[in-house]
Amino acid sequence: MDELQTHRPVSVKEALGEYEALWHMFEALDLRFVEKVLSRSYGRKRKVGRPHRSLVGMFKAELVKRFGRVEYYEELYRLMSVDREVRELCDVKEWEKPYHPSILSRFRRRIGPECLQRLVDHALEQLDRMGMLSGKTVALDAAFIKAYSRRDPHDSSRGLSDIEARLRKQGGNVTLGYGVHLAVDTGSEMPLGVVVEPANMNEKKAAPTLLKKTIKRRRKRRVRHVVADTQYSSQAVRDEVKRLRAKPVIPYPRNQAKGKRVLRVDRKFRSHGPAKLKRLYRRRSAVERAISRLKHYFGLKHLRTRGLRNAVTHTLLCILAMLITALSSVLHGHTDLIRSPVALMKLTGKL
């Protein structure tokens, strides 16, 4: 998915907004719940051996990396080395060294996608209780993120240092990477579910898993409509949406449902068909805006790890950063700014 707009380069210092905004954002987190979830990956504390660093602190460091649009762990390490306030923000004591890139890499691998998915679900539950998620209409789309590897010269269909990455056409070029399949609440533009697969997996194949993960978690509030573009046009996808008691709003291509009055989209992206379906289909742009924000503001496009599992972890951390921004906006009384990370920083910090 191409980015919707081009933004000027922002320095780390500008993005962090003198850190005051991040202090406000972290206040929105239930840190006791975060520590409880993360500690399960480390097991019981042992009397022998070196104790691990602060789990909440390392979690904060991962979020600072994304809020500050820091691309590499080495860059984050240098920032913490020279800036005392960043160290305090990440719970680094005066006598402790900053988190080395190897420490954060081990932390990320150890907690894995399972812990992060629980934190994402918890953040969504909080937003739901606050009345920020409608969930009646869900939009599906996929984004491409480039792999941190070059192509294998002996097998050009996969990566050299990342053997799980695959090829896909992107902007007229064949690029190595992963596909992030996202389900977004069209009202709040918050991500409700995500599936990460090698880039060569078609959207139709990933859709059933994504729908199950998204709709089954929304037991209290029924999803009424599922909106997607023609890439998802297949009988299997439509049947799966109906089986989950929702109505598919997916345009048919020209070679399908000939002679029937169904929803279609022409080459100029103009929709044709029943008026109600056309109105619902306009909500599909919500998922494009959500993907654009994830890439520009929360570092989704900067994948600097290898392997499918690490790509899932990276994606969930970016989604967590977006949800924490929304939670912070609501708790500070700015419900109209849940989709605007820059506007929130202007109010709470000095961006």
Give me the chain's average pLDDT, please.
84
Dihedral sign computed on CA atoms, order 331, 334, 338, 342: negative
3-state helix, strand, coil in the chain (%, to 5): 45, 15, 40
Q: Assess whether pLDDT exceeds 80 at residue 53.
A: yes
**245-to-117, 134, 186 alpha-carbon distances in Å:** 25, 17, 18
Q: Assess whether pLDDT exceeds 50 at residue 350.
A: no
Query: Cβ atoms within 10 A of the Cβ of 43, count?
Result: 7
Dihedral sign computed on CA atoms, order 322, 324, 325, 327: positive
The mean pLDDT value for 71-97 works out to: 90
pLDDT in tens, 292-303: 999 988 999 999
Give 97's DSSP letter: P
Q: Quote the pLDDT of residue 255.
A: 80
Rounded distance between C-alpha atoms, residue 109 and residue 199, angstroms = 22
Token pair of 183, please? 């389900």
Q: Assess whether pLDDT exceeds 60 at residue 8.
A: no
Rounded distance between C-alpha atoms, residue 335 and residue 345, angstroms = 14
Q: Quote the pLDDT of residue 346.
A: 56
Calculate ∠ Cα 171-175-181, nearest 5°: 80
The mean-pLDDT minimum among 5-9, 96-100, 331-335 falls in: 5-9
Do the beta carbons of residue 321 and residue 344 sit within 8 Å?
A: no
pLDDT in tens, 139-184: 999 999 999 899 888 888 888 899 999 998 766 778 899 999 999 9
Token pair of 316, please? 């969930």
Rounded distance between C-alpha atoms, residue 59 and residue 56, angstroms = 5
Dihedral sign computed on CA atoms, order 272, 273, 275, 279: negative
Helices 55-67 and 308-331 sit at what angle, rounded to 10 degrees? 80
| DSSP H or E stretch at residue 337 | none
Nearest to 62 by CA among 305, 264, 339: 305
Q: Quote the pLDDT of residue 309.
A: 94
Higher pLDDT, 48 or 24: 24
Of the chain, the percentage scoring pLDDT greater than 70 comes to 87
- 203 phi/psi in degrees, rounded to 5: -60, -35
Q: Assess whether pLDDT exceeds 50 at residue 234.
A: yes
3-state secondary structure of 31: helix
Prediction pTM value: 0.89
Q: Assess whether pLDDT exceeds 90 at residue 59.
A: yes
pLDDT in tens, 291-343: 999 998 899 999 999 999 999 999 999 999 999 888 888 887 888 888 877 66
Nearest to 319 by CA among 101, 63, 20: 63
Residues 6+ away with beta carbon under 8 Å from 289 = 4, 189, 339
pLDDT in tens, 110-134: 999 999 999 999 999 999 888 888 8
